[in-house]
Amino acid sequence: MSRPYDELLSRAQTGIQKISTKSSLNRLELPEPQVIWVGKKTILRNYAEFPKLFRRDPDRVLMYLAKELATAASIDGERAIFIGRKDKASFMQLFQKYMQDNVTCPVCGSPDTHIETVSRLHFRVCEACGARSAAKVN
Ligand SMILES: [Zn+2]
């Protein structure tokens, strides 16, 4: 049996590498999540950077994280506070997934997209190539 997912992944990675050598503007560099634990809470100190980078509503992004981490979360200025101890790697993974599912254009790889909602369906519309593709925003 072939492994189409792996193939897809390596193809996607090759694509990303190509794009990034051509123009660094086409790639979002995710900041490292700054995580601290206070009691049973996790504070993501630089939360605000992520929705800003994605150009998405901070509340929406937080809802996504809370859902994926199966916990409650709230925004406190630049920070986000999560109930329970979550590690940096989980945030990194989720932000990457969010980017892949909701931000990056699957056609040209540009992160310059915005969300359009039509009859309750979400689409990311690419401002670089004009492609419209499904988004999995919650
Ligand atoms: Zn595009």
Domains present along the chain, CATH in parentheses: 24-104 (3.30.30.170)
CB 131 within 8 A of CB 108: yes
CA of 93 to the centre of ligand 1 (A): 23
CA of 137 to the centre of ligand 1 (A): 18
CA of 127 to the centre of ligand 1 (A): 7
Which has more pLDDT, 101 or 19? Answer: 101
The b-or-e profile of 41-55 (16+ CB within 10 A means b, else e) is bbbbeebbbbbebbe
CA of 51 to the centre of ligand 1 (A): 19
CA of 10 to the centre of ligand 1 (A): 19
pTM: 0.78
What integer pLDDT is reported at residue 20 of this predicted model?
Answer: 44
CB 123 within 8 A of CB 134: yes
Kindly report which listed range (7-16, 29-38, 93-102) carries the lowest average pLDDT score. Answer: 7-16
